[in-house]
Amino acid sequence: MSIIQQHTAASLSDAWRTINIDALEEDSPLNFDTSTLRPPQPEISEAEVRGLAGQVRQLLRGGDTEGALRGCLEFPVYNGVDAAKDAHLQTITEVLHSIKASDMTPLLQNIYGSAGGSELLDVLMKYIYKGMGAAGPASVGAAMSVLLSWHEKVVDVAGLGCIGRVMTDWRRV
């Protein structure tokens, strides 16, 4: 046996596999609480969503479509039961259906130009995608047409970055 073979056989142990190098790295998740990276989202009940839906319908009856849309988008349901999430999606879809095509762009520009408008349009895009995914075969024609129109207008106003932010955001509606 040559000296190279002896040296290799002696140094080939599995001890190096038991070292946890993450514990040695200061930015490792082992050294800080990773729950601080994602702030807790408030739990929203179905009753709260139904109450908001009533307020939104009242704004729609009064002709305040921008206020109705803002009201929906300012309180997204990130943490709640599926029934609450579905009810909120239904409310937003109802608002989107009630707004005329000629009013879409000015309304979105008003929202985008206000404080926090970019985040509101990101929330709208999340609900548009959720609505596209939830549209059943019976409602594909009309609902999908409205959602695609809104998608186009949101991208025109907020840009393509809106799509990227929605796709990479860990919060789901």
Write the DSSP symbol of residue 80.
Answer: E
The whole-number pLDDT of residue 24 equals 73
The whole-number pLDDT of residue 51 equals 96
Domains of the chain: 3-36 (no CATH), 44-168 (1.25.40.190)
| Mean pLDDT across 86-107 | 95
Condensed to tens digits (0 to 9), the pLDDT of residues 33-76 reads 767 777 788 899 999 999 999 999 999 999 999 999 999 999 99
| Mean pLDDT across 144-171 | 95
Condensed to tens digits (0 to 9), the pLDDT of residues 103-135 reads 999 999 999 999 999 999 999 999 999 999 886
| Euclidean distance between CA atoms 28 and 74, whole angstroms | 35
**What percent of the chain is modeled with pLDDT above 70?**
84
Question: What is the separation, in whole angstroms, between the first and last Cα of the chain?
Answer: 66
Band of the pLDDT at 3, cuts 50, 70, 90?
low
CB burial class (10 A; 0-12, 13-18, 19+) of residue 23? exposed
| Mean pLDDT across 77-90 | 94
pTM of the model: 0.78
Quote the tokens at residue 29: 């998740």
Backbone angles phi and psi of 171, in degrees to 5: -80, 130
Tokens 């008003």: give the residue.
110
Quote the tokens at residue 134: 């939830």
